């Protein structure tokens, strides 16, 4: 055994032995680079698929649940201002909101886990309780019994204190999942990079050794292996950087902008519910009016030039996005102006006139709030389209990269082995 080991050492110290060792190193390193590259590219493809097929859609569903429930609460409050029978269009809007939220819940339940599953459990249990309270309030209101107002306030309290926080937790959990997936796609594959650089370094050093050993400038096999390694390394780098760039664009100009505008939209809907509940309380709604002021300050700032809308304007990725936010800022200012007139009428014992200005006509507070909601919806839709384009671009950038890297890595190993074996054969 010792004799065989010494022979092996002596053999490795000869020129053929060194070339054999170099062949093994290049082949193993080339195959390792190829395997790591394939795994990295397939992992990125899986992450992009998660962004486009799971975390992205779930984030949008969570946002839709949050928005639909907020709108249902605001619509129920506005509808209750009618004398006895609420307007048919408001009733339909309320029912559509509940149906939309329930449908999104059903879809989300199939894929949610962890924090999302817990939040969904709260929503599934509490939404029927909320709708039952609203129906009780509606029944009493149709009969002209003041107890309906108490039921509606209880329903709104349940919505704000339990249901909406659960919806917000669902939205945040899915937004966090989406952000984590986006960051993972944008993360540079350092392991593959180091293996690729090591492979190129060994190929160059091996060729320099061959030049000194044989006095020949080129070894066709090694040149081919080096070219294949460079192409594989470049392909991988372009695919990874392209996917990362697209995903970063989708995050900055898509999902983050959508999240900001969605938060602004929900804040506006909560303010609209506060406006209706203040009028329903008939002089006893100071708490709702105070909350309205807090919501509007969060939405547009104290002077109408701050808050969530100003942040969205500053972070808008293009002119179209900025234009949508500017429209929202304008409608928010219009709404606040009308709201102040509503409060003046209500505080001046002109309740019927206040209700009419709040709910009826193009110049009403409800109309201004509706235009604000439409502008925010347009901005959210635009952000969603940017997100979808970016995700599709990331998928295109990664398309075929794993197969290309695998084939090129095999070419590196085969070409290097062929070229070095030619030199080894000269010693036989």
Q: Does the residue 6 lie in any domain?
A: no
Residue 425 or 109, more confident = 109
Q: Does the residue 11 lie in any domain?
A: no
Q: Does the residue 9 lie in any domain?
A: no
What are 43's two structure tokens?
Answer: 């992992």
Q: Which contiguous run of DSSP H or E holds residue 313?
A: helix 307-314
Residue 307 or 14, more confident = 307
The Cα–Cα gap between 35 and 23 comes to: 18
Q: Does the residue 401 lie in any domain?
A: yes
Which one of 19-33, 95-109, 327-341 scores highest in mean pLDDT? 327-341
Tell me the three-class secondary structure of 225-264, residue by residue. HHHHHHHHHHHHHHHHHHHHHHHHHHHHHHHHHHHHHHHH
Q: Does the residue 7 lie in any domain?
A: no
For residues 164 and 119, the answer to whether their CB atoms sit within 8 Å is no
Q: Does the residue 68 lie in any domain?
A: yes
For residue 10, pLDDT beyond 60: no
What pLDDT does residue 14 have?
66
- 8 — pLDDT class (breaks 50, 70, 90): very low
The Cα–Cα gap between 402 and 316 comes to: 35
For residues 126 and 158, the answer to whether their CB atoms sit within 8 Å is yes
Q: Give the Cα-Cα-Cα angle 35, 36, 42 (nearest 5 degrees).
A: 90
Within 54-161, strands assigned E span none
Q: Does the residue 10 lie in any domain?
A: no
What pLDDT does residue 417 have?
84
In the chain, the number of structural domains is 1
Query: 173: domain range?
Result: 20-425
For residues 232 and 261, the answer to whether their CB atoms sit within 8 Å is no
For residue 219, pLDDT beyond 90: no
pLDDT in tens, 176-197: 887 787 788 778 888 888 998 9
For residues 225 and 412, the answer to whether their CB atoms sit within 8 Å is yes
What pLDDT does residue 2 have?
53
The Cα–Cα gap between 20 and 425 comes to: 11
Q: Which contiguous run of DSSP H or E holds residue 182?
A: helix 164-186
pLDDT in tens, 165-181: 888 888 888 778 877 87
What pLDDT does residue 364 have?
85
- 386 — pLDDT class (breaks 50, 70, 90): confident
- 129 — pLDDT class (breaks 50, 70, 90): very high
For residues 380 and 325, the answer to whether their CB atoms sit within 8 Å is no
Q: Does the residue 2 lie in any domain?
A: no
């Amino acid at each position: 055994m010792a004799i065989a080991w010494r022979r092996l050492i002596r053999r490795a110290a000869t020129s053929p032995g060194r070339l054999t060792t170099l062949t093994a190193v290049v082949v193993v390193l080339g195959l390792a680079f190829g395997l790591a590259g394939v795994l990295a590219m397939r992992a990125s493809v899986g992450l992009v698929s998660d962004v486009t097929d799971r975390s992205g859609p779930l984030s949008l569903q969570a946002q839709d649940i949050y928005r639909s429930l907020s709108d249902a609460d605001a619509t129920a409050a506005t509808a209750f201002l009618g004398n006895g029978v609420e307007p048919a269009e408001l009733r339909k809007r309320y029912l559509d909101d509940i149906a939309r939220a329930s449908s999104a819940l059903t879809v989300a339940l199939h894929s949610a886990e962890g924090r999302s599953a817990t939040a969904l459990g709260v929503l599934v249990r509490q939404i029927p309780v909320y709708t039952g309270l609203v129906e009780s309030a509606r029944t009493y209101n149709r009969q002209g019994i003041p107890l309906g107002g108490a039921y509606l306030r209880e329903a709104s309290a349940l919505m704000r204190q339990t249901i909406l926080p659960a919806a917000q937790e669902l939205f945040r959990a899915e937004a966090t999942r989406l952000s984590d997936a986006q960051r993972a796609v944008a993360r540079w594959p350092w392991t593959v990079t180091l293996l690729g650089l090591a492979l190129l370094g060994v190929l160059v050093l091996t060729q320099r050794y061959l030049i000194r050993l044989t006095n020949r400038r080129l070894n066709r096999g090694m040149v081919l292996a080096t070219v294949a390694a460079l192409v594989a390394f470049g392909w991988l780098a372009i695919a990874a950087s392209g996917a990362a760039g697209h995903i970063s664009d989708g995050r900055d100009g898509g999902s983050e902008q959508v999240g900001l505008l969605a938060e602004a939209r929900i804040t506006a809907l909560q303010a609209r519910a506060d406006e209706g509940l203040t009028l329903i309380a008939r002089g006893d709604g100071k708490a709702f009016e105070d909350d309205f002021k807090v919501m509007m300050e969060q939405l547009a700032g104290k002077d109408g030039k701050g808050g969530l809308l100003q942040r969205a304007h500053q972070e808008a990725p293009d002119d179209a996005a900025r234009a949508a936010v500017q429209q929202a800022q304008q409608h928010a200012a219009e709404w606040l102006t009308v709201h102040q007139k509503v409060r003046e009428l209500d505080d001046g014992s002109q309740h019927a006139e206040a209700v009419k200005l709040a709910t009826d006509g193009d110049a009403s507070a409800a109309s201004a709030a509706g235009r604000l909601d439409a502008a925010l919806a347009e901005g959210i839709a635009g952000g969603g389209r940017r997100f979808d384009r970016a995700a599709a671009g990331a998928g295109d950038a990664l398309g075929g990269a794993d197969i290309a890297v695998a084939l090129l890595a095999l070419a590196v190993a085969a070409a290097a082995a062929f070229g070095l074996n030619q030199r080894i054969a000269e010693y036989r």
